Structure 1
Amino acid sequence: MGQCNSNDYDVSVKTGDKKGSGTDGNVYIALTDEDGKRSSDFKLDKILKDDFELGHTDTFSVGNSSGLKHITQLYIWRDKTDDNDTWYVEKIVVERCKDKDQTIFPIHRWVPAGFSIKLKEYDSLLPQHDTEQLEQRKRELEAKQIEYQFKVNLEGGPAQIKDIPVDEMFTKEYEWNLMAALGKAKLSSEVLDLIVGEFECLDDLKNIYGALFRIPDGMHTWKDDEAFGAQKLKGCNPAVIRLCQQIPDNFSVTPEMVEPFLEGQTLKECLDTKKIYIIDYKMLDDITKTDDRYLCAPLGLFYVNSRGKLLPIAIQLEQTPSENNPVFLPSDPEYTWLLAKMWFNNADCNYHQSVAHFGTTHILMEYVCIVTNRQLSPSHPLYRLLSNHFLYVIGINTSGLTRLLAPEAWVDRNMTIGRAGFITILSRAWPKWRLNVEGTLPNDLQDRGVDDENALPNYHYRDDAMLLYRAIEKYIRSVLTGIYDSPEKLVDDYEVHNWLQELRSPPEGPGLNGLPEKLTSVDDICAIVTPLVFQASVQHAAVNYSQYDEFAYPPNYPTYLEGLPPRDKRARNEQDLVNALISKTRVLDVAFLADLFLSRTGLNSLGYFEVQYNYDPISVKALESFRKELAEIEEEMKEKNKTRDNTYSILLPSIVPNAISA
């Protein structure tokens, strides 16, 4: 703050960092104290200074305000000078000079020429309590509903944004870094494609790592069955494995096949004691794909051994049993078993990218962001609570992933399913995905039968993610309990009921499943907000930030395989693997994108926001407690990693961003 006389105020105005945020127009404010006494009108202007530039904070001294008590309300407006100009205000802080009494007004609005905006301290009010500004709230929501319109871009999937609003565009710096990363990946891939020879053996492939790329973890362990099992518990797709209590009828596994791998136990004993787990990709059966590519719909059976390690014991690459669809076993010839694992992982990888990564983090949060902006006023406490977890998601989906999903773009070139299969898988998965089951971690773990730490040890994703889920839940509940400290406040909150209704049933496309019919308690609203914040932060980190270590070495987790999967168990050799692997061009394309774009973190860590939306005492106190708990969790995770055979650092709170940035 600046220097001013004892009866004056310092007014600090932060212009936002959005495209077109700054203004050269004339800006005015007036202040009202807790007794309703209003100040004079003040023009905010410094002679010979260019005020209100993008991303800048300007401080002004205003006088003639003696006798005002604590400021609780602010009016801000512009005259019609430069009426085509736009101005986005992030925050205004008013400080009384004589005693440093301070009032914070989070604005987060565009202030058009010729309009006056009236806000209360903290600007965090339920609509039924905001009686003085009902027309303003109504006008703002009507404008948002025009700006945030739905459009179904991917048939069968949820609607996305029709036209990207300026509020959702990247800052210049972020856009430059993002486009630079994409451009570098494309250029580097093209240059290296010219100078690197074709891969005739696996050693040729290995030679590009270390010098051209850092060595991905998967290059060291891709042959190992123990690493294959650990990949299902700590890799980039860790939420598909389920407890198996009965072998499916279409999985041609017999006790005689697998009991040699069960350390002297029978298959029935292992099923009864929760030692057998399964991954079943029935949903991938007979999907539409780009061109004539082949994608398996495999089943994989896993066993927890006496050392607590998860091991694959059987793989069937198709859903329908037949002579041409054998069950592959660890006792099969080495390269035959490796080839079966590669085709299994190719299916897993394509599912991961279309559903676990894009569908239930990126596109989910874009959908929720649109609904939130359409139905909750910027003054709504829930809007302020959620906004930090939407940062850049519409921008990244529009500017980044749209490019990757365009016809003949990255997905078409580098994934077995191509664009057509990507959309088909998403359209199958979205109607079955429920926020209260698959999207709510403790419920999901219980539903999959993998919540028992004794039965399935070394499930690092589960153990670390649960720590963060509980911390997020505690934080969210603290804030929401303060907002809705009586049931009537929730019942009377018509904005939040409209929000729920549109989440369930939007004007276009399918809605979100697994939502309550109505909101009557804090438990109801927590059961929605907690998993949404988790999906935007922790779950996205879990499925995103290990992609380079998984994808970059193709035998470990191939995005694309040539030809057909093995139809018999005869012995294969290394050349059969090389023939199935993606081409040199695809290897480079995948490695560069995973390294420079898909695995990058571009936002602040969880609980430390780029933009502060909440300043009310309840939210501030809850956030302080949340940050303290996250620091304790970080230390707990680091201690765990000291004794883990396979370290897992993806979910360290200092690494997990608040929102989806890549």
Structure 2
Amino acid sequence: MSKSKSKGTDAKYNITVQTGDKKGAGTHAHVNIILYGTDGIQTKECKLSNFLKGDFKRGKFESFSIKSEVHISEVRKIELWRDNNGSCTNWYLDWIEVTKCNKENSITTVFSALKWIKENYHYFFVNETTLPQNDPMKVSRRREMQVLQKEYQLDVKIPGLPAQVKVLPEDETFSWHYFLDVLLSKLAEYGIESHKLTKKGKGKEWKNVDDVKTVYTKAFGVPQSSKYFNDDMKFGRQRISCLNSLLIEMCTAIPENFAATEDMIKPFLEGKTINTSH
């Protein structure tokens, strides 16, 4: 493997890492990186770490500086992976920026990731956008697709309804603590204390439709639609409207740009017609 070296001097690379703002995106794991140039030039494995500082916090970007005897004028590809160190290991990476620092010029390359980085899995990122059939990292892409196929297996949970993901991957689910934090923050906006909410709802059972209304607090109020909770016709209309009845309006004429012809949808009209005149 050929390497470009300068006697007595090491190359310096500044690396900026942007961690995503998703729930649980930050990590305590150790992250390693290898930089690649052209013609097989690459650095040795380097650990991204700042002494006595917690790295890779959610929604934050961190800067690192690494040195290498290998001089790469422009970084064209990076290899990245993490271990399973620490209590919080999941990591969502937005992007990485690499700058080669020298006296002549500084070339910065940005590598987009936008994905969860799995433990001990080596990811390759290039700074060029290509079609899948022209992807220079076909092997890496294929391995990643195989992992996704295992994680996102479909299952028809209710006969007649569309298939759903059998088990949602852990890093895409929200914990109960997250939902509780959102609820408490909303209540705080209205000056409602959490212990009052707990006391109000504790130990109560719903025996009729009116009992359902007792779960609503002053923070949100009782919805106007509660007047029709026990009305079958109103309930059916709401279901047909996909619970969005306030945004749906009756169509009184066929739009001019309506792409479907009557012959196309005739099998579904049950003997009726789309002609609005009768």
Shorter-chain-normalised TM-score: which range? 0.5 to 0.7
Alignment correspondent of 1:353: 242
Alignment of 1:104 onto 2:110: yes
SS in 1 for 2:242: helix
Change (3 A) 1:70 1:174: farther
**Whole-Å separation in 2 of the counterparts to 1:110 and 1:81:** 16
**Contact in 2 for aligned 1:152/1:160 (Cα 8 Å):** yes
Alignment correspondent of 2:169: 165
Correspondent of 1:23 among 24, 27, 30:
27
Change (3 A) 1:58 1:110: same
SS in 2 for 1:187: coil
Kindly provide the CA deviation profile for residues 77-108 of structure 1, in whole angstroms up to 9, marking residues without a partner as x: 23564598332222111112333311111123
Change (3 A) 1:66 1:147: closer
Alignment correspondent of 2:233: 294
**Contact in 2 for aligned 1:81/1:113 (Cα 8 Å):** no
**Whole-Å separation in 2 of the counterparts to 1:127 and 1:447:** 32
Alignment correspondent of 2:258: 446
**Whole-Å separation in 2 of the counterparts to 1:356 and 1:161:** 29
Q: CA deviation at 1:154?
A: 5.7
Change (3 A) 1:35 1:173: farther
**Contact in 2 for aligned 1:147/1:165 (Cα 8 Å):** yes
Q: CA deviation at 1:153?
A: 5.1
Alignment correspondent of 1:129: 134
**Contact in 2 for aligned 1:14/1:58 (Cα 8 Å):** yes
Query: What are the residue-to-residue correspondences of 1:557-576 with 2, within 5 Å?
Result: none
Change (3 A) 1:50 1:448: same
Query: What are the residue-to-residue correspondences of 1:41-56 with 2, within 5 Å?
Result: 41-56=45-60
Q: Which has the higher contact order (CA 8 A, sep 6+)?
A: 1
Alignment correspondent of 1:114: 120
Query: What are the residue-to-residue correspondences of 1:120-269 with 2, within 5 Å?
Result: 120-122=126-128, 124-134=129-139, 136-152=140-156, 155-169=159-173, 176-177=181-182, 186-188=216-218
**Whole-Å separation in 1 of the counterparts to 2:45 and 2:151:** 32
Q: Give the counterpart letter for 2:241 in structure 1.
A: H
CA RMSD, 1 decimal: 4.4
Change (3 A) 1:55 1:107: same
Change (3 A) 1:131 1:103: closer
TM-score by length of structure 2 reads 0.59
SS in 2 for 1:14: strand
TM-score by length of structure 1 reads 0.28
% identical aligned pairs? 28
**Whole-Å separation in 1 of the counterparts to 2:216 and 2:181:** 15
**Whole-Å separation in 1 of the counterparts to 2:39 and 2:259:** 55
**Whole-Å separation in 2 of the counterparts to 1:155 and 1:178:** 34
**Whole-Å separation in 1 of the counterparts to 2:164 and 2:36:** 41
Q: CA deviation at 1:13?
A: 1.0
Indicate the structure with greater helix content: 1
Q: Give the counterpart letter for 2:258 in structure 1.
A: Q
User: Unpaired runs of 5+ in structure 1?
Assistant: 194-198, 200-289, 297-345, 358-442, 450-662
**Whole-Å separation in 1 of the counterparts to 2:244 and 2:216:** 25
Change (3 A) 1:69 1:83: farther
**Whole-Å separation in 2 of the counterparts to 1:59 and 1:29:** 14
Q: CA deviation at 1:64?
A: 2.5
**Contact in 1 for aligned 2:94/2:115 (Cα 8 Å):** yes
